[in-house]
Amino acid sequence: SDDNADITICYDALGYVLSEKHQYNSSLKWYEKSLIIKKKLFDPFDPRITSTYNSIASLHLINNNYNRALEFYEKAFQIFQQKYGDDHPRLAECFNNMAMIHKKQEHYRKALKLYNQAVSIYENHNVDNNINLALSYKNVGLVYRHLTEYDLALEYFNRSLKIYESILPLKHSLISMTLENIANIYCDKENYRQALKYYEKAAKIYRHILPSTHPDVLQIRLIIKKIEAKI
């Protein structure tokens, strides 16, 4: 039945190509065909099934079918947990995926719990300067902002910034986006002088890496004008 296993590779590839072309419903059909064969061929907890589960989940996410997306991300999570135990970076990816769905559904406390589980795994793996840890800190910060817990949001954005500044070029888009996230919090707190300071730092990077007519450059220029008017 190697032939069948080879067919699933082809089906997954077709699913991928169609999703890249934004033909999401056609893509889903090929991934579902692949899944039917994989379920016949492999043990239910075989990690080879997870890539198809994750692909199907991401397509449901694109179609705003959040509960279906969550269902397939959870299936992938159960397989990784069975294979790797409770403390492996693959599980952190699953936690991030599931948290993202809860965040979109505005289930912020659930999202926070899952993002924090991802953070714990990355921290346990002693990846002090790991980009995934920085991204996870950012995710936690964004949820705290939704919960209007601004000081905690700031703390996590600053943790994220510290990692980015230690591993990325100083004129990197992830740094400018984080500076903007920090500025947004100061704005929420009505601390406009601090907000302005961080928006200007972000704007400086945007001007360096983007064309002057880029929407991000124009938008931050507009924000800075509005903040200056408040001071």
Return d(Cα 224, Cα 176) in angstroms, integer: 14
57: which residues sit within 8 A by CB, 6+ positions away? 68, 69, 70, 71, 72, 73, 76, 97
pLDDT at position 127, please? 63
pLDDT tens string 171-180: 999 999 999 9
Q: Tell me what the mean pLDDT of segment 164-186 comes to.
A: 96
The domain segmentation of the chain, as residue ranges, is 1-84
pLDDT at 201 over 80: yes
The CATH class given to the 1-84 domain equals mainly alpha
Q: Are 177 and 160 in contact (CB under 8 A)?
A: no
Of the pLDDT bands very low, low, confident and very high (cuts 50, 70, 90), residue 2 is: low
pLDDT tens string 4-22: 888 999 999 999 999 999 9
Buried b / exposed e over 187-213, threshold 16 CB at 10 Å, is beeeebeebbbbbebbbebbbeebeee
Q: Which amino acid is at 49?
A: I
Q: Which of 45-49, 52-56, 100-104, 108-112 has the lowest mean pLDDT?
A: 45-49
